[in-house]
Amino acid sequence: MSGHRRRPPQSTFAGSRAAGDRTTGRRAAVRHQAPGPGGQVPGPGMSRRARRATPQRKRWIDYPRGGRTGPRRWLPSVRQLLGLFLFCFGATVAAVGYAYATVTIPDPNPSTLLQNNVYYWSDGTVLATDGSVNRQNVTLTQVPADVQWDFIAAENASFYTDPGIDPQGILRAVVHMAEGGSVQSGSTITQQFVKNTYLDQSQTLSRKVKELLISSKIGATMSKQQILQGYLNTCFFGRQANGIQAAARMYYGLPVEKLDASQGAFLAAAVNEPSLFQYADSDPAARAQAEARWSWVLDRMVTVGKLTPQQRARYSAAGFPAPRKWAPGSGLTGQVGYLAQLARSYIQAHDPNITESSLSRGGYQIHTTFDRKKTAELSRAVAKVRKDRLDPAHRSVDRDVQVGAASVDPATGRILAVYGGPGYDRAHYADNADTSGVPVGSTFKPVVLAAALQYGAVLQPGKSPQPITPASKFDGDDGIQIKDQQGNYVTDDKDPTGLLHQHNDTDQRWGYIDLRKAMEQSVNTPYVQLGEDVGYGNVASTAEALGLRSSSLAAPSAGFYIGTSTPSAIRMAGVYATFAADGMRATPYSVTRVTHNGSPLTGFTAPTPVRALPAAVAGNVTDVLRGVIARGTGTKAQALGRTAAGKTGTTDDYRSAWFIGYTPQLATSVVLFKEDPKHPQLQSLIGVGGLQKVFGGDIPTEIWTQYMRDALAGLPDASFPAPAPLGQGADELGAPSPSPSLAKPPAKRGGSTGKKATTPRNAPTASPVCRHRKCR
């Protein structure tokens, strides 16, 4: 056996491979034909239920759920619910993050930038407002701390610690909406500021989302103080009041600085129900709800630790701070419109940055000199005298008669009262107190006298000026010829002789009379000649020193010296106030202080009084004007019953009538004129009030006396300083001495006595002419 070799098996490797192939194939077949439930092998004949029970390839989202039947197949698993929640949460966070990153803070609404301008009486109460929006912005420092906390306690106690939004408030709002209620704010003070300033008041979900996003950004970029200030300036409080300053004025007549915690609590309550609480002064139901809310706000102040229980008890004991009466629609009626316009013009003249455009945007608080009581007294005086003296319903000549008046403090120049006319509400828009265009008549004579006392007069051609005093004598007869400083007769192309014959109101032969008497009786001729002798330049410079504008002064003429100039009643009151102040001129002014958006503006300090006349000159002018009331054309002013000085004035053809008078405490001018609004030119006053001639000593003096009696009530009867002596004064050439009754050389009356008249030499043919006759 050992000699035989065994044959190796055939193709061992090949056989093994074949066997392996067969084994793999069987396994695949078994795998593909594994029996299903119940031992069935899947195949074409397998039932649908069996097919569904057969394990399938795993899906990324197993929904509807495999291996489940009936409703369970549609119920998500806990894992699926958790995944869905995480997905939604992540998507929401991503969306919010994207929105927050891309949202920008918009520009403020244009309406929130609008404010009105507020004008204040001298006592600090509101005189008037103008503008389409009743708002005056203030700084937070102007709002008392207790008032700030009234709003914080009521609206957002966590204001200083929250990020600008309140999740709990938002949740409450969402729950309310889910229950079918309207969209609510759940708003913080920051959100309300955003809504008021950058968005609108619509109650929509999209607006709410914007509000939240912008509030978050505002909370991160603005300080809490800035946000609170903006909120208080943009809240609507009812009564057309936007912002806390306007609300303080409308409800309590106070600036916000003077509010207390109790009043602030009411305003914090009014923010919630402005349309209701604005009637808390008159509607019992509104008051009851306002009082309940006010009490709740004070309780909240105690809760947040900003009021002690003792302080709370004191406010309770004091009672509900009822707002003052509200008069909707009250505007620029009566004198208010004229006063506001005076102040408006003043601030524009004193600050070039204040333009009509800037005023239209508002935000100015303008504190005036106007005295509320005296303004009312002046209006009453005009109304009373008009009622007593004029009857336009039965006397047509009394129609279109107008009055202008102004009252000035001599010591300071403060304009205390004006009467500008019936009022803007009665379609009278021109301010008669500030009108330039009505000749002042003989009320200008004291200016001529003041210039003569100060500069002297050239009484002989080529000679130096001679001193003049109230005792100096000049020709007072009617119809005399006037010479200039060169000795030439002043010409008049309307006179048959070609020469000016100056007239008085009457043809009374006064002869040579002193300037004192000529002033008392308002004789024209002495003052026309005196003016020529003093010179136009000296008289004009004196007028300007006393406060008259050069633009209101008439051109050189004989009439200039007896009142053809046309300054306003305000300016003329200022001139006489300077006499009252012994020659110290305090320029009339109407504004004491101006702020813009709560910040004070410079340039509105009171004018400093300056020396306009030597005290001796002013004192002597006053002494002469006292005689006008004591024994002259102004005797009706004696009804005032106290020391006073003044002058009447009536112009040519009775086109205006004036009385300007003063005491040491008050200077007031009154002018009467007639003008048809449809044909704006001065008309004659002849026949007005049933009078044949209307003089300044009549109706204007009555108005002046009635007003001054009321305005000075309670004040002592102050006396003027005794006038300083001026020494010896010169007389006009030809004046007799010592007796003023002696005859004058007749040549000055154009040869009316039969004596040879002096022939004029080189008469200046271009000289302006005045033939004023009725200038009392």
Concatenating the DSSP letter of every residue in 232-256 gives HHH-B-STT-BSHHHHHHHHHSS-G
Distance (Å, rounded) from C-alpha 237 to C-alpha 244? 8
Contacts of 339 (CB under 8 A, 6+ apart): 119, 127, 128, 368, 370, 375, 418, 590
Q: Is pLDDT of 753 > 70? A: no
The tokens for 43 are 């195949």
**Beta strands in 4-143, from DSSP E residues, in sequence order:** 117-120, 126-130
User: pLDDT value at position 441?
Assistant: 95
Q: What is the pLDDT of residues 359-408, one digit of tens each?
A: 888 889 999 999 999 999 999 999 999 999 999 999 999 999 999 999 99
Q: What is the pLDDT of residues 85-136, one digit of tens each?
A: 776 777 666 655 655 555 556 666 666 778 889 899 999 998 998 877 888 8
User: pLDDT value at position 195?
Assistant: 81
User: How many other C-beta atoms can be found within 10 angstroms of the C-beta atom of residue 512?
Assistant: 24
DSSP-assigned states of every residue in 613-651: S-HHHHHHHHHHHHHHHHHSTTGGGGGG-S--EEEEEE-
User: pLDDT value at position 201?
Assistant: 53
The 3 state secondary structure assigned to 159-223 is: CCCCCCCCHHHHHHHHHHHHCCCCCCCCCCHHHHHHHHHCCCCCCCHHHHHHHHHHHHHHHHHCC
- Name the nearest CA neighbour of 552 among 535, 569, 538, 528: 569
Tell me what percent of the residues of the chain surpass a pLDDT of 90. Answer: 57
Q: Is pLDDT of 29 > 50? A: no
E strand or H helix at 715: none
Distance (Å, rounded) from C-alpha 670 to C-alpha 279? 43
User: What is residue 696's three-state secondary structure?
Assistant: coil
Q: Is pLDDT of 322 > 60? A: yes
User: pLDDT value at position 2?
Assistant: 44
User: How many other C-beta atoms can be found within 10 angstroms of the C-beta atom of residue 317?
Assistant: 7
Least confident range of 134-143, 569-578, 731-740: 731-740
Contacts of 648 (CB under 8 A, 6+ apart): 442, 443, 522, 628, 632, 633, 634, 657, 658, 659, 695, 696, 697, 700, 701, 776
Contacts of 273 (CB under 8 A, 6+ apart): 289, 290, 293
DSSP-assigned states of every residue in 420-481: -SS-GGGT--S-GGG-S-S--GGGGHHHHHHHHHHH-B--STTSPPBP--TT-EEE--TTEE
User: What is residue 659's three-state secondary structure?
Assistant: strand
User: pLDDT value at position 206?
Assistant: 57
Q: How far apart are the first and last CA of the chain?
A: 181
User: pLDDT value at position 54?
Assistant: 55
Q: Is pLDDT of 677 > 80? A: no
User: What is residue 688's three-state secondary structure?
Assistant: helix
Instruction: Give Cα 742 distance to the centre of its chain.
Output: 63
Going from the C-alpha of 659 to that of each of 69, 413, 511, the distances in angstroms are 112, 19, 26
The 3 state secondary structure assigned to 111-156 is: HHHCCCEEEECCCCCEEEEECCCCECCCCHHHCCHHHHHHHHHHHC
User: pLDDT value at position 444?
Assistant: 98
Instruction: Give Cα 743 distance to the centre of its chain.
Output: 63
Distance (Å, rounded) from C-alpha 469 to C-alpha 729? 5
The tokens for 14 are 């090949």
Burial tier of 81 (Cβ tally within 10 Å: 0-12, 13-18, 19+):
exposed
Going from the C-alpha of 334 to that of each of 116, 339, 432, the distances in angstroms are 20, 10, 13
Q: Is pLDDT of 321 > 80? A: yes
Computed on alpha carbons and rounded to an integer, the radius of gyration of the chain in Å comes to 47
Distance (Å, rounded) from C-alpha 708 to C-alpha 670? 11
Contacts of 73 (CB under 8 A, 6+ apart): 64, 65
Residue that wins the pLDDT comparison between 18 and 461: 461
Distance (Å, rounded) from C-alpha 147 to C-alpha 548? 49
Least confident range of 180-189, 338-347, 487-496, 710-719: 180-189
Average pLDDT score over the chain: 83
- What amino acid occupies position 638? Q
Q: Is pLDDT of 424 > 50? A: yes
- Name the nearest CA neighbour of 625 among 687, 693, 557, 578: 578
Cβ proximity of 744 and 482 under 8 Å:
no
Cβ proximity of 612 and 625 under 8 Å:
no
User: How many other C-beta atoms can be found within 10 angstroms of the C-beta atom of residue 59?
Assistant: 9
User: pLDDT value at position 203?
Assistant: 53
User: What is residue 386's three-state secondary structure?
Assistant: helix
Sign of CA dihedral 553, 558, 561, 565: negative
User: pLDDT value at position 772?
Assistant: 43
Going from the C-alpha of 280 to that of each of 98, 135, 290, 300, the distances in angstroms are 47, 21, 7, 21
- Name the nearest CA neighbour of 290 among 311, 319, 313, 314: 319
Residue with tokens 């914090």: 268
Phi and psi angles of residue 499, each rounded to the nearest 5 degrees, phi first: -115, 150
Q: What is the pLDDT of residues 587-646, one digit of tens each?
A: 999 999 999 988 899 999 999 999 999 999 999 999 999 999 999 999 999 999 999 999
What CA dihedral angle connects 536, 537, 542 and 548, to 10 degrees?
Answer: 80
User: How many other C-beta atoms can be found within 10 angstroms of the C-beta atom of residue 667?
Assistant: 30
The tokens for 558 are 């004989």
- In this prediction, residue 144 has a pLDDT band, given cuts at 50, 70 and 90, of very high
Q: Tell me the mean pLDDT in the region 289-313.
A: 95
User: How many other C-beta atoms can be found within 10 angstroms of the C-beta atom of residue 422?
Assistant: 18
User: pLDDT value at position 32?
Assistant: 47
Residue with tokens 């001529």: 448
The tokens for 542 are 């004196």
Rounded to 5°, the CA angle 139-142-147 comes to 110
User: pLDDT value at position 376?
Assistant: 97
Distance (Å, rounded) from C-alpha 257 to C-alpha 249? 11
Q: Which of 212-226, 227-241, 326-340 holds the top average pLDDT?
A: 227-241
User: pLDDT value at position 774?
Assistant: 42
